Amino acid sequence: MIKELHEKLVNREISSEELVKNSLIEIENKNGEFGAFLKVFKESAIKNAKKVDEKIARGEKIGMLEGIPYAIKDNICVQDKITTSASKIIEKYEAPYNATVVKKIKKAGAVFVGKTNMDEFAMGSSTENSAFQKTKNPFDVDRVPGGSSGGSAVAVASDMVSWALGSDTGGSIRQPAAFCGIVGLKPTYGRVSRYGLMAMASSYDQIGPFAKTVEDAAIVLDAISGKDIHDNTTVQKGRDSFYENLKPNLKGKKIGIMPSLFEEGLDGKIKKNIEERIEWAKGQGAEIIQIDIPHIKNTLAVYYLMVMSEVSSNFAKYDGIKFGLSEANLENSKSKNILDVYLNSRELGFGPEVKRRIILGTHALSAGYSDAYYKKAQKVRELIKHEFKKVFDQVDVILTPTTPTLPFKFGEKSDNPLEMYLADIYTVPVNVAMLPGISIPAGMAEENGVQLPVGMQLISKWWDEQNLLDISAGFEKFE
């Protein structure tokens, strides 16, 4: 837990160097099997830890995150470090600048340890789409860790680092957090700058933390949020600290439940764990209110249509010339003209899921179709936002499962994209409506003799992360 580590550092019971070295030992011991990290930066991590130790030795005050090791998903730019988004097309891309979140965390003094594996360009729900390696679920290595930020989730869940950053376009923080038994927070769209995050779908992407506790997530959120001149969708909302104001509480809180989300398609074991928590929350003084968001049934369609469209537009820049891999530079190049260079570089550089989305998105945006598809989807998106807004006049948070199933096996869904997309049913509405959402652990469930983690999702209204965190911390006390 970050606060405990911080106190130990301040009281000189442990040094930052020791913390970082412990983290490096965990990585050394576990990464071979779990495949969470793509790259680890040992020397710079130890060097930075020593600087924090010197500061402590001089009697200077240190911040909450200072001296504590953390990891970053490989679609977030760290200056002079390779940033691949787990794609062959930019396998050798060295980021020329720091993402705003990285700049902020650097200022906060946390120690960057390494870059984590992910689905290529964050497209996927299992991390199986990485061009480089498999990442395994620490609870059962035959199962996926979730995705797309699978590496960050596993790094935290298996104690390789105390916390990590991920990105969430349709669930990529919350779903792997659920599959790995930790906390994952997707802030309100605009809370955290996307500058330096390799764009997937610009009106959906948001950076957020993975952590062991709600309190830790609040500490990280404090460090990364705020207005940024490099991302004009960011807003400064309040100046207070989520961490300092955190009050675990369920008493008097109104919790919305949508019954149809607990019916068809939901694993009975997940349902049972969540229902137990709902009952317990009542005993803690929470009020359970039945809600309805009729157009929620259209969210997957809206999401995948819009995301693929935005992908096709954002990905035009990977043309074999501006960035990364260029087929024209290969010894056995077949390219005879500029069009060949585009086609051959993209053919070689992108994996099948990225290609699928570019093709579908290009179709959806093509002349004569974009009004019928993208524009229509935008209208339905507004309708869904409006329905959420009405519900939040009545309740503080909405409670749902994070995933319909327990962590699935490798290969179980990878041949069937539609089935993979359907697994995002609970997380996607949050991004469609640009709301904040969190997944917190909701106990364990058994499948074929293996104990696997269950995740529970809470959603609050826009900019109401404080309430969301307070209620989530209230649920952490479940017994």
Q: Under the rule (CB under 6 A), what is the footprint of ligand GLN?
A: 122-125, 148, 168-172, 200, 307, 424
Query: Out of 23, 158, 167, 172, which one is annotated catalytic?
Result: 172
Spot the catalytic one: 15, 16, 126, 148.
148
- Nearest approach in angstroms of CB 373 to ligand GLN is 17
Residue with tokens 């298996």: 158
In this complex, which beta carbon is closest to ligand GLN, that of residue 124 or of residue 138?
124
Picking from 153, 155, 141, 149, the residue whose alpha carbon sits closest to that of residue 181 is 153
- Between 123 and 358, name the residue whose CB sits nearer to ligand GLN: 123
DSSP 364-408: HHSTTTTIIIIIHHHHHHHHHHHHHHHHTTT-SEEEEES-SSSPP
Which residues make beta-bridge pairs with 446?
451
Q: How far is the CB of 175 from ligand GLN (least distance, A)?
A: 7
Burial 83-111 (b: 16+ CB within 10 A, else e): bbbbbbbbeebebeebbbbbbbbeebbbb
Nearest approach, Cβ of 186 to ligand GLN (angstroms)? 8
DSSP E strands, 92-212: 111-116, 163-167, 183-186, 207-211
Report in angstroms how near the CB of residue 149 gets to ligand GLN at its nearest: 7
Looking at the Cβ atoms of 48 and 167, the one nearer to ligand GLN is 167
Shortest separation between residue 353's beta carbon and ligand GLN, angstroms? 8
**Residue 89 DSSP label:** G
**From 15, 23, 30, 73, active-site residue:** 73
- Comparing CB distances to ligand GLN, the nearer of 327 and 424 is 424
**Nearer Cβ to ligand GLN, position 72 or 123?**
123
Give dist(CA 161, CA 180) in Å, integer: 14
Tell me the sheet residues that pair with 184: 210, 439
Q: Which helix (H) or strand (E) holds 37?
A: strand 37-40
Buried b (16+ CB within 10 A) or exposed e, 282-291: eeeebeeeeb
Report d(CA 145, CA 208) in Å as an integer.
17
Note the residue count of the chain. Answer: 479
The CB-nearest residue to ligand GLN is 172
Residues 6 or more apart from 9 whose CB is under 8 A from it?
Answer: 15, 16, 19, 52, 56, 62, 66, 67, 68
Of the pair 15, 149, the CB lying nearest ligand GLN is at: 149
Q: Tell me the H-state helices in 114-249.
A: 150-157, 174-180, 214-224
Residue 358 CB, nearest approach to ligand GLN (Å):
13
Name 477's Cβ contacts closer than 8 Å, sequence gap at least 6.
248
73 as an active site residue: the answer is yes
Rounded to a whole number of angstroms, the minimum distance from the CB of residue 474 to ligand GLN is 26
The nearer residue to ligand GLN, 74 or 424, going by C-beta atoms, is 424
Catalytically active residues, by annotation: 73, 148, 172
